[in-house]
């Protein structure tokens, strides 16, 4: 099994009691030679040590990490390092030594919990569940292992209180260790393989270690009673990436989930039946409903309606699926979606994805399908509308498969209102539709002649016939108390109010656009202008303002002199791409 930086070097369980500190179990355990030395150190605790540095043997090695496992630490050293005093219990435990970081969560076994002890029987006062990690892991990884250690420790203390479980497992481990320590030196062997065979708690610890190294997901029931449910996001999100050069951080996933919108859709990364079978028996029925009705063709708002759930609850359930890398967020699949090959996609002809694609879609070539998306084009241009319905459905499934394996990116169009810096502005008169030029107006002061750009009031006051522009220079309602106010005037006032957030330069540039002389076009522009800041794509505007794509594209064409578009990914769907 190939190890990476997120995998633990080992899992260790130590205890403190009336008879001193003891290493109960460690996995993976070292070779027989190291085990013999460990047993010798336990068998002869008063033997003279030649060197004054107890870590000298470890420091002779280049590293305490070999083949992704912890080496060089005897059982005695680990016991002395990881068994803590009562004052440190109930807190995060962290110890760095050279290139190894020990992370744990020690807990006290509460007295008076209903478990009775004999006075002559050794009692356990506290215990510590510890993971050995590399020191160069990120702080978020350390926090995850702290949470897992705490979850395991709390479960063990609960079972100790309920049925004396931990004391029973301790007795099994101690008994095997004492039996092996009493053997002759030539017959010594590591006690941990035998403990692993006979002790259920040791099997649980091995299961936890193997799960962290393989998938990063732990689903375990301690003593068939307390469930342990854990997901290492650094592992699960990167396990599904078939191309190198990408590392998904949990912070990036959370940023994307914070940008989740009702018009997004959820795309399951696993087969629906397989995902349902992996759920625990006591999982939320709402989660099962969401999984069953989810579809990459329907928005989360539609999904909430189909599942008869509140939209906020659907957001929480979908976020949970994304956290566990069981699903990803996309925009609902439609013909106007623009897709392009991911720059981090594995396009090698001998990649494992080629075999998976061929098994999933017989007589289809992954290279040929990807070649169709070498340039950003709408999905509708790739569809064969004259083909059979079965063939069209197959094309949709191919795109879904490419999105599941992160081979495609969806690009969205974002709009920015950028007024041009012109030496003069052309204004279209609303009365005679003639364009006039307003040059820079000289402003004379006592100190001399000073040139200044023409202001909005200058532009508004100059038209072809000397009359003010009815759309831009209309008096406010307060100043027209003695005038008859028409519906047209009220509409113009509303437009001016909607454009109130624009700067003088923006208003000046907007007035120079010929389409601004049309009240309906200007009203539509004013209504959508808050979205023209580069933070909202077309689909976002369409959803919140209930406008059609054709209306937006027409508006972009009419005001193209002041509107600039750019295409990139939606922040809610781009967590698997480095920023």
pLDDT digits (tens, 9 = 90+) for 269-316: 999 999 999 888 888 999 999 999 999 999 999 999 999 999 999 999
Q: Which of 57-61, 92-96, 425-429, 567-571 has the highest mean pLDDT?
A: 92-96
Q: Which two tokens stand for residue 577?
A: 């791409």
Among the residue ranges 103-112, 234-243, 397-406, 537-546, the one predicted with the least confidence is: 234-243
C-alpha closest to that of 143 among 101, 204, 82? 101
* Helical segments of 241-284, H only: 250-258, 272-278
C-alpha closest to that of 428 among 510, 508, 517? 517
Residue 82 has pLDDT above 90, yes or no: yes
Residue matched to tokens 């008859």:
484
Angle, in degrees to the nearest 10, between helices 139-163 and 165-181: 100
Residues recorded for the chain:
579
Find the mean pLDDT for residues 311-327: 94
Find the mean pLDDT for residues 376-390: 82
Structure confidence at residue 34 as a pLDDT band (50, 70, 90) = very low
Please give the pLDDT value at position 511: 85
| Measured CA angle at 394 (ends 393, 399), to 5 deg | 100
Angle, in degrees to the nearest 10, between helices 285-293 and 300-307: 120
Instruction: Report CA 77 to chain centroid distance, whole Å.
Output: 39
C-alpha closest to that of 281 among 325, 219, 230, 204? 219
What are the residues whose beta carbons fall under 8 Å from the beta carbon of 511, sequence distance 6 or more? 425, 427, 456, 459, 460, 469, 472
What are the residues whose beta carbons fall under 8 Å from the beta carbon of 121, sequence distance 6 or more? none
Q: Which two tokens stand for residue 66?
A: 């070999």
Task: Identify the sign of the CA torsion 76, 80, 86, 91.
Answer: negative
Three-state DSSP state, 39? helix
On whether the CB atoms of residues 218 and 553 are closer than 8 A, the answer is: no
The phi, psi pair for 26, rounded to 5°, reads -145, 145
Beta bridge partners of 101: 96, 133
End-to-end CA distance of the chain: 30
Instruction: Report CA 433 to chain centroid distance, whole Å.
Output: 54
Residue 198 has pLDDT above 50, yes or no: yes
Report the half-sphere exposure of 229 (CA within 13 A, side-chain side): 12
Residue matched to tokens 């169709």:
372
Average pLDDT, the chain: 80
On whether the CB atoms of residues 340 and 409 are closer than 8 A, the answer is: yes
Instruction: Pick the more confident residue, 497 or 130.
Output: 130
Rounded distance, CA 213 to CA 230, Å?
Answer: 13
Structure confidence at residue 121 as a pLDDT band (50, 70, 90) = low
Alpha-carbon separation of residue 373 from 282, 337, 570 (angstroms):
43, 12, 18
Instruction: Pick the more confident residue, 61 or 83.
Output: 83
Please give the pLDDT value at position 516: 87
Rounded distance, CA 187 to CA 104, Å?
Answer: 34
Please give the pLDDT value at position 60: 44
Please list, residue by residue across 14-51, b when 16 or more beta carbons sit within 10 angstroms of its beta carbon and e when fewer do: bbbbeeebbbbbbbbbbeeebbebbbebbeeeeeeeee
Among the residue ranges 183-187, 265-269, 474-478, the one predicted with the least confidence is: 474-478
Structure confidence at residue 110 as a pLDDT band (50, 70, 90) = low
Among the residue ranges 119-123, 199-203, 439-443, the one predicted with the least confidence is: 439-443
On whether the CB atoms of residues 124 and 164 are closer than 8 A, the answer is: no
Q: Which two tokens stand for residue 400?
A: 């879904």
Please give the pLDDT value at position 237: 84
C-alpha closest to that of 108 among 171, 157, 164, 147? 157
Report the half-sphere exposure of 506 (CA within 13 A, side-chain side): 16
Please give the pLDDT value at position 21: 92
Structure confidence at residue 19 as a pLDDT band (50, 70, 90) = confident
Rounded distance, CA 15 to CA 178, Å?
Answer: 16
Rounded distance, CA 559 to CA 562, Å?
Answer: 6
Please give the pLDDT value at position 496: 75
Please give the pLDDT value at position 66: 87
Residue 125 has pLDDT above 60, yes or no: yes
Q: Which two tokens stand for residue 367?
A: 């290279």
Cis peptide before 28 (omega within 30 of 0): yes
Rounded distance, CA 393 to CA 575, Å?
Answer: 28
C-alpha closest to that of 72 among 10, 126, 129? 10
Please give the pLDDT value at position 440: 34
Three-state DSSP state, 317? helix
Rg of the chain over all Cα atoms, to the nearest angstrom:
35
Residue 117 has pLDDT above 50, yes or no: no
On whether the CB atoms of residues 155 and 122 are closer than 8 A, the answer is: no
Among the residue ranges 69-73, 213-217, 458-462, 489-493, the one predicted with the least confidence is: 458-462
Residue 450 has pLDDT above 70, yes or no: no
State the CB neighbour count (10 A cutoff) for residue 305: 14
Beta bridge partners of 340: 409
C-alpha closest to that of 324 among 247, 235, 243, 263? 235
Q: Which two tokens stand for residue 196?
A: 């692993």
Among the residue ranges 307-321, 474-488, 555-569, the one predicted with the least confidence is: 474-488
Please give the pLDDT value at position 445: 35
Please give the pLDDT value at position 458: 39
| Measured CA angle at 572 (ends 567, 573), to 5 deg | 70
Residue 148 has pLDDT above 60, yes or no: yes
């Amino acid at each position: 099994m190939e190890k990476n930086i997120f995998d633990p070097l080992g899992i260790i369980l130590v205890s403190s009691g009336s008879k001193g500190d003891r290493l109960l179990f460690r996995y993976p355990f070292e070779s027989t030679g190291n085990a013999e030395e460990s047993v010798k150190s336990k068998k002869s605790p008063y033997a003279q040590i030649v060197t004054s540095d107890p870590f000298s043997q470890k420091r002779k090695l280049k590293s305490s990490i070999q083949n992704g496992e912890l080496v060089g630490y005897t059982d005695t050293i680990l016991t002395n390092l990881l068994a803590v005093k009562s004052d440190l219990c109930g807190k995060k435990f962290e110890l760095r030594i050279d290139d190894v970081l020990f992370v744990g969560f020690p807990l006290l076994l509460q007295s008076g919990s209903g478990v009775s002890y004999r006075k002559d029987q050794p009692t356990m006062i506290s215990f510590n569940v510890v993971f050995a990690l590399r020191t160069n892991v990120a702080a978020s990884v350390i926090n995850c292992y702290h949470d897992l250690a705490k979850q395991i420790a709390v479960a063990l203390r609960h079972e100790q209180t309920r049925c004396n479980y931990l004391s029973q497992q301790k007795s099994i481990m101690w008994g095997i260790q004492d039996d092996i320590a009493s053997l002759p030196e030539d017959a010594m062997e590591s006690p941990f393989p035998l403990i692993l065979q006979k002790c259920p708690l040791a099997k649980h610890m091995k299961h936890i270690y193997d799960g962290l190294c393989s998938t990063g997901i732990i689903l375990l029931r301690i003593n068939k009673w307390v469930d342990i449910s854990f997901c290492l996001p650094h592992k699960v999100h990167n396990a599904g990436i078939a191309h190198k050069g990408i590392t998904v951080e949990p912070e990036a996933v959370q940023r994307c989930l914070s940008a989740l919108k009702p018009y997004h859709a959820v795309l399951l990364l696993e087969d629906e039946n397989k995902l349902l079978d992996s759920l625990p028996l006591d999982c939320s029925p709402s989660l099962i409903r969401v999984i069953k009705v989810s579809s990459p063709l329907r928005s989360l708002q539609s999904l909430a309606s189909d599942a008869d759930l509140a939209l906020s609850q659907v957001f929480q359930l979908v976020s949970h699926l994304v956290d566990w890398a069981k699903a990803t967020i996309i925009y609902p699949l439609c013909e106007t979606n623009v897709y392009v090959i991911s720059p981090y996609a594995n396009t090698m002809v001998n990649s494992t994805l080629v075999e998976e694609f061929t098994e999933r879609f017989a007589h289809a070539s992954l290279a040929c399908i990807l070649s169709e998306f070498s340039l950003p084009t709408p999905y509708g241009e790739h569809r064969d509308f004259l083909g059979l319905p079965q063939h069209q459905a197959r094309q949709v499934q191919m795109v879904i498969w490419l999105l599941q394996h992160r081979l495609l990116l969806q690009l969205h169009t974002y709009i920015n209102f950028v007024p041009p810096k012109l030496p003069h502005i052309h204004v279209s008169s609303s009365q005679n539709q003639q364009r006039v030029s307003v040059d820079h107006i000289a402003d004379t002061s006592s100190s001399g002649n000073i040139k200044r750009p023409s202001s909005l009031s200058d532009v508004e006051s100059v038209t072809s016939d000397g009359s003010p522009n009815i759309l831009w220079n209309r008096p406010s309602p307060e100043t027209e108390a003695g005038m008859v106010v028409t519906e047209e005037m009220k509409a113009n006032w509303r437009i001016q109010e909607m454009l109130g957030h624009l700067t003088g330069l923006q208003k000046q540039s907007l007035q120079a656009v010929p389409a601004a002389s049309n009240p309906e076009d200007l009203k539509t522009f004013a209504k959508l202008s808050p979205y023209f800041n580069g933070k909202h794509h077309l689909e976002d505007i369409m959803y919140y303002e209930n406008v059609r794509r054709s209306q937006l594209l027409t508006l972009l064409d009419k005001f193209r002199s002041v509107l600039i578009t750019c295409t990139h990914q939606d922040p809610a769907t781009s967590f698997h791409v480095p920023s």
